[in-house]
A and B are shown apart, each in its own frame.
Chain A
Amino acid sequence: MKLGAGRSEFFINFIAILITLSIAFVAVIVLIFLLSSQPIDTIYYFFIGPFTNRYYLGNMLNTSIPLIFTGLGIAIAFKSSVFNLGGEGQVYAAALVTTVICLALPTANGYFGGTLALAGAALTGSFLAGLSGYFRMKWGTDELISSYLLSASIIMVVNYFITGPLNDPTNNLLATKLIGSQYFLLKIMPPSKLDIGIFIAIATAVVAFFFMYHTHAGYEMRMCGLNREFSRYGGIDTARYLILPMLISGLLHGLAGGFIVLGTYHKAIKEFSFGMGWNGIAVALIARNNPLAVIPAAFFFAYLDAGAKAAMLHSDVTFEIAAIVQAIIYYLVTAKVIYRFIRYRKRVINA
C-alpha cells in the first residue's frame, strides 16, 4: 500500500527541486564572479570547502540538526494546513528552558537531567504553539498571526532573562552560565562540534514520516489539511486537528532549542538561535513538507551556510552571500513556478 501522492508526483517534485537547486548554484557562481577578486578560489572553497576536512564537514552536519527539527515542525503543520510562524520564539524559549533546567540540577545524572531538560524544551514549544492552536479552535483567531505575535513577544521575555536575572556576570557575553558538563552530548567527529544529536534528528524524521503516513492520527491530520469539509463529512473530529498539529510542531521546535543547548552551545546566548525558525520554513518548503525529504533539505541549507563560511575564511567574499542564495531559493520554492511548469508540461505531453 502507498498512501500520499503517487510515484509520478514524487518524480515531478524531485525534478523541480533539482532545478531549483541548480539555479541557486548558478546564482552563487555568478555572484562570486561579481564580488570576488579571485573567483576560482572562492568557488572552490564555497562548493568543496565544507568537505575538505572533518572540522568543516562536522560543523556543517551540526548546523543541520536544529534545521531538521524545525523543518519537521513546519512540514507537519503545513501538511495539516495549520500555520506555525512562531518557530523563532519557540526555539529560543525552549533553549532557555533547557538551560534553566540543567542549571537548576547541577549535580543530577546526565541522562536523567538531560532527558528532563529536553522534555522541558518540548513542552515549552508545544505550549507556545498549542496556545495559538487553542485560540484558533476556540475563537477562530488566525493561528498564523497569533503564533507570530506570540513568538515576537516571547523573544523579548527570553532576552530579558538572558541579559538580566540569568546573566553570567563572570563572562562578558550576553549569556547564561554554562550547564554542567554531564549534560554535554557526545561529540562524534572531533574537533568539529558534531554530536549524537544528528542521529536523534534523523530518527525523529523517520518517526515523523511514519506518523504522518502510517498512523491513524497522521492520516486524519493530512486529510484535514487537504480538505476539512471532506474530513468532517467523513466523520473526523476536525477541531482536534487544529490543535494537534500545532502541539507537534511546537514540540519539534522545542527539541531544536533543546539540542542546540545540550549539543553545541551549553548555555543560552542572546539571540543565538535566530534564523533557525525561519529557515525551518525554507527547509520544509524545499522538502515539500515530506518528513523524510526534510533531512536532505536541511543538509543542503547547512551546506550553503558552511560553504559561505569556508569561502569567507579562505577568500574575500562576505558571509552575506549565503543569505542571498537562501533568499533566491526561498523565492523559487515558494513561487512553485518550476513545479507548475513541469506539471503543465507533463499534462500536455500525456494528453
Chain B
Amino acid sequence: MREITKYYVESGVLANDRVSLEVKDNEIHALIGENGAGKSTLMKILYGLERADSGKILFRGKQVSITSPRDANALGIGMVQQHFRLIPQYTVTENVILGIEPTKRRILLDKGRARREVSAIAKKFSLNIDCSAPVGDLSVGQMQIVEIMKLLYRKASFLILDEPTSVLTRQEIDNLFGILKSFKKQGKTIVLITHKLDEVSEISERVTVLRHGKRVAVRDTSDTNPSELSRLMIGREVALHVERPELARGKPVYRLESITLREKGRNVPLLDRVTIEVHQHEIVGVAGVSGNGLSELEDVASGLRKVTEGHIFHNEEEITNLTSIELREMGLAYVPADRLFRGSSLQSSVTENMIICNHHYFIKRGILNGKKISQFVRELTEKYSIMGEPDVPIGTLSGGNIQKVILARELSSDTDFIIFAEPTWGLDVSSSEFVYRKIIELRSEGAGILLISSNLDEVMALSDTIVVMYKGRVVMYSENKPSLTKELIGEYMLGLRDDFREVQSVKDSRGVQS
C-alpha cells in the first residue's frame, strides 16, 4: 500500500496520513500502534470496507482497486474484524459457508458437500473444532478460529487479523499462534494488528509502527526489541502542554477501594482489585491501552455498572452499587467517553440534552417550566459559546459543540467530583483546549477529577497523579513528576514493566509528606 490517506470528514480526524505498508509474500507482519493510530483504518481500506482519499494499493506487483470486501475476497484477501460476525444459533459449518453456500442444481443447499469441505479445512490446518456444534456453544477462542475458517473457505491467501488476541486467554493465544505458524508453512501471508508487544516478537517477522496516522518505522522483528517499539509507538516527546497552577491537594473526595469486576463466562476479571483515590484540587489521570480496563473503570466509577467486589466512597459515604438515579441525586457529574450515545441523544434538541440530569429543577407540579429552561439553556450556550440553536437536534452540531453541551450540562450544578472519560477524543485542537481549560478551572475551584484517557499526552499534561492500568490491574500509581518519562509510562502501559510495589512506595512516601 502506498501513500494511503484517509480523512474522516464527520469527525475531522486524519486517520491515515500518506501511510505506506509493504508486506512480503508468505510473511507474518505485525502492524502496531496506539489506539487511534490508524491501524484498523488502513486495513479496512485494504479490505474494501473504507475507501482511501488518495494513494494506491499494489497487490503482487499490480495496481488494484478494492472497493468492497468482495473485491478483496476475489484477490484472496480476507479479514477477521475485531468484533465477530457470527450467527450463534448456526453451526460452525453453516457459519463458514454463509454467503457462498455450495448448492445442488443452483437451488438446493448441498449440506453433504458443505460438511465435507468444512471438515476438510479443519483437518488440513489441524484445527481442533467440532463443525456441527452451534457457534454459540463455543469458547471465544474457538469462535476466532471459525472466523479464520471463513477466510480459508473463501480460499484467502492473505489474512488480516485485527487484534485477534484481545479477548483470548493465554492458552487460546498459544493455540492461535500455532495455527498462524502452520498457515505460514502452507504459504499464506498474514497481517496481524496488535498493540501487544510480546506478541510481535513472538510471532511476527517484520513489524510496521504507526503513530498518529503516520508510519514511523518498519523493522525486522529480530533487529528490534520491545522497548524500542514502545518508544516508537508512544513517542518520546509529550506533545501537549497545559498551564497547571501549583496547588496543594485537599481532603479526599472519592475513593475506589479494591474494586473487582467479573463477567460471567470469563475467568479473567475485567478489573482486578483497583484502588484509586481522588482529592480536592487533584486530577488523577488513568492511562492505559484500550482493552485493559479503562472503559470498565469508567462504567464502574460512574455507577452504570455494578462492581463484583470492593467499595466506592464519596466524601467517606459509601456509594457502592447505587443506581444512576441515586448517584445523580447526589450530584455526580460525568462526561462519558461515548458522547454520541451515552452522553447525548442525537435526535433530541440541544435544550432537551442540556436538561437530562437537572430537569428536576425546572418542574413545578409535574410540569416543565419552559421559561426557566430556555433561560438556563441561553445562559449556558453563551457561557460555553456553543454554536447551535437550542431547538435543533444535537446531532446536527459538530463534535466539539456536542462535547461543549455535555460539559455545560455536567458542570452546571455545583459538584466536588467529576469523571472525564476520553474528554477530547476526536475533537479538534481548539475544542480540546477548551476542555483542558475547563478541567484545570474545576481543579482550581476545588473539585476532584478522575480523568480516564487512552491519550497519554493528555494524562501527562493534566494530571497531578498518574495511574496506569494494564490487564485490569493498576500497574503504576505515581505522582506526576519530571522523572516520570513518557517512555517509562509507555512501558507500563504495554506491560513491559510490572513493578507495582516499587512505585506504590513512591505514593506511600508522598502520602506521609502531605
Q: Are B345 and A226 in contact (CB under 8 A)?
A: yes
Interchain CA distance A67-B467 in the complex, whole Å: 61
Q: Are B368 and A234 in contact (CB under 8 A)?
A: no
Q: Are A233 and B366 in contact (CB under 8 A)?
A: no
Q: Are A236 and B345 in contact (CB under 8 A)?
A: no
Q: Are B324 and A2 in contact (CB under 8 A)?
A: no
Contact indicator per residue, chain B 317-360, by CB within 8 Å of chain A (1) or not (0): 00000001101110000101000011111111101100111011
Interchain CA distance A222-B353 in the complex, whole Å: 12
Q: Are A214 and B370 in contact (CB under 8 A)?
A: yes
Q: Are A214 and B357 in contact (CB under 8 A)?
A: no
Pick from A3-11, A135-143, A284-292, A299-307 the stretch touching chain B: A3-11
**A2, A217, A230, A233: which contacts B391 (Cβ < 8 A)?**
A2
Q: Are A235 and B324 in contact (CB under 8 A)?
A: yes
Known contacts A6-B392, A219-B359, A230-B342; A235/B329 CB under 8 A: yes
- Smallest Cβ distance from B326 to chain A, in angstroms? 8
Q: Are B348 and A223 in contact (CB under 8 A)?
A: yes
Interchain CA distance A4-B328 in the complex, whole Å: 24
Known contacts A223-B352, A233-B336; A7/B391 CB under 8 A: yes
Question: In this assembly, does B393 line the interface, its C-beta being within 8 Å of a C-beta of chain A?
Answer: yes
Q: Are B325 and A237 in contact (CB under 8 A)?
A: yes
Known contacts A1-B374, A3-B351, A233-B304; A223/B393 CB under 8 A: no
Q: Are B325 and A1 in contact (CB under 8 A)?
A: no
**A5, A231, A236: which contacts B349 (Cβ < 8 A)?**
A5
Contact indicator per residue, chain A 227-259, by CB within 8 Å of chain B (1) or not (0): 101111111110000000000000000000000
**A2, A4, A223: which contacts B356 (Cβ < 8 A)?**
A223
Question: In this assembly, does B21 line the interface, its C-beta being within 8 Å of a C-beta of chain A?
Answer: no
Question: In this assembly, does B138 line the interface, its C-beta being within 8 Å of a C-beta of chain A?
Answer: no
Question: In this assembly, does B371 line the interface, its C-beta being within 8 Å of a C-beta of chain A?
Answer: yes
Q: Are B389 and A231 in contact (CB under 8 A)?
A: no
Question: In this assembly, does B373 line the interface, its C-beta being within 8 Å of a C-beta of chain A?
Answer: yes
Question: In this assembly, does B108 line the interface, its C-beta being within 8 Å of a C-beta of chain A?
Answer: no
Closest to A235 in B: B328
Q: Are B349 and A233 in contact (CB under 8 A)?
A: no
Question: In this assembly, does B64 line the interface, its C-beta being within 8 Å of a C-beta of chain A?
Answer: no
Q: Are A233 and B324 in contact (CB under 8 A)?
A: yes
Q: B residues 363-379 with Cβ under 8 Å of A?
A: 363, 366-368, 370-371, 373-374, 377
Q: Are A6 and B370 in contact (CB under 8 A)?
A: no
Question: In this assembly, does A318 line the interface, its C-beta being within 8 Å of a C-beta of chain B?
Answer: no
Closest to B345 in A: A227
Residues of A within 8 A of B349 (CB): 2-6
Question: In this assembly, does A215 line the interface, its C-beta being within 8 Å of a C-beta of chain B?
Answer: yes
Q: Are A6 and B391 in contact (CB under 8 A)?
A: yes
Question: In this assembly, does A345 line the interface, its C-beta being within 8 Å of a C-beta of chain B?
Answer: no
Interface of A is mostly: helix
Q: Are A232 and B324 in contact (CB under 8 A)?
A: yes
Q: Are A235 and B327 in contact (CB under 8 A)?
A: yes
Closest to A4 in B: B349
Interchain CA distance A44-B31 in the complex, whole Å: 73
Q: Are B370 and A1 in contact (CB under 8 A)?
A: yes
Residues of B within 8 A of A9 (CB): 393
Residues of A within 8 A of B343 (CB): 230, 233
**A6, A214, A223: which contacts B345 (Cβ < 8 A)?**
A223
- Smallest Cβ distance from A254 to chain B, in angstroms? 23
**B357, B373, B391: which contacts A234 (Cβ < 8 A)?**
B357
Residues of B within 8 A of A222 (CB): 348, 352
Residues of A within 8 A of B348 (CB): 222-223, 226-227
Residues of B within 8 A of A8 (CB): 392
Residues of A within 8 A of B377 (CB): 1
Q: Are B371 and A1 in contact (CB under 8 A)?
A: yes
Contact indicator per residue, chain A 191-235, by CB within 8 Å of chain B (1) or not (0): 000000000000000000000001111011011001101111111
Interchain CA distance A220-B367 in the complex, whole Å: 12
Interchain CA distance A213-B357 in the complex, whole Å: 17
Q: Are A3 and B352 in contact (CB under 8 A)?
A: yes
Q: Are B367 and A216 in contact (CB under 8 A)?
A: yes
Q: B residues 383-428 with Cβ under 8 Å of A?
A: 389-393
Q: Are B392 and A230 in contact (CB under 8 A)?
A: no
Closest to B362 in A: A216
Interchain CA distance A216-B351 in the complex, whole Å: 14
Contact indicator per residue, chain A 37-62, by CB within 8 Å of chain B (1) or not (0): 00000000000000000000000000
Residues of B within 8 A of A214 (CB): 367-368, 370
Interchain CA distance A7-B355 in the complex, whole Å: 20
Residues of B within 8 A of A3 (CB): 349, 351-352, 368, 370, 391
Interchain CA distance A223-B342 in the complex, whole Å: 12
Residues of B within 8 A of A227 (CB): 341, 344-348
- Smallest Cβ distance from A88 to chain B, in angstroms? 30
Interchain CA distance A2-B351 in the complex, whole Å: 8
Residues of A within 8 A of B359 (CB): 216, 219-220
Contact indicator per residue, chain A 142-175, by CB within 8 Å of chain B (1) or not (0): 0000000000000000000000000000000000
Interchain CA distance A237-B363 in the complex, whole Å: 16
Residues of B within 8 A of A216 (CB): 359-360, 363, 366-368
Residues of B within 8 A of A5 (CB): 347, 349, 391, 393
Known contacts A1-B373, A6-B389, A219-B352; A230/B345 CB under 8 A: yes
Residues of A within 8 A of B373 (CB): 1
Closest to A218 in B: B368
Residues of A within 8 A of B356 (CB): 223, 230-231, 233-236
Interchain CA distance A6-B367 in the complex, whole Å: 21
Closest to B355 in A: A219
Residues of B within 8 A of A230 (CB): 341-345, 356
Interchain CA distance A235-B391 in the complex, whole Å: 22
Closest to A213 in B: B368
Interchain CA distance A5-B350 in the complex, whole Å: 10
Interchain CA distance A215-B368 in the complex, whole Å: 5
Closest to A230 in B: B345
Q: Are A229 and B342 in contact (CB under 8 A)?
A: yes
Q: Are A215 and B366 in contact (CB under 8 A)?
A: yes
Contact indicator per residue, chain A 51-93, by CB within 8 Å of chain B (1) or not (0): 0000000000000000000000000000000000000000000
Interchain CA distance A231-B324 in the complex, whole Å: 10
Residues of A within 8 A of B352 (CB): 3-4, 219, 222-223
Closest 4 CB pairs of A and B: A235-B328, A234-B356, A1-B370, A1-B374
Given known contacts A219-B368, A227-B348, A230-B356, what 9 new A-B pairs fall within 8 Å (CB)?
A1-B374, A2-B351, A3-B368, A6-B393, A223-B345, A229-B341, A230-B342, A231-B356, A232-B304
Query: Could you list 6 examples of A-B contacts with CB < 8 Å?
Result: A3-B349, A7-B391, A214-B368, A217-B366, A226-B347, A232-B304
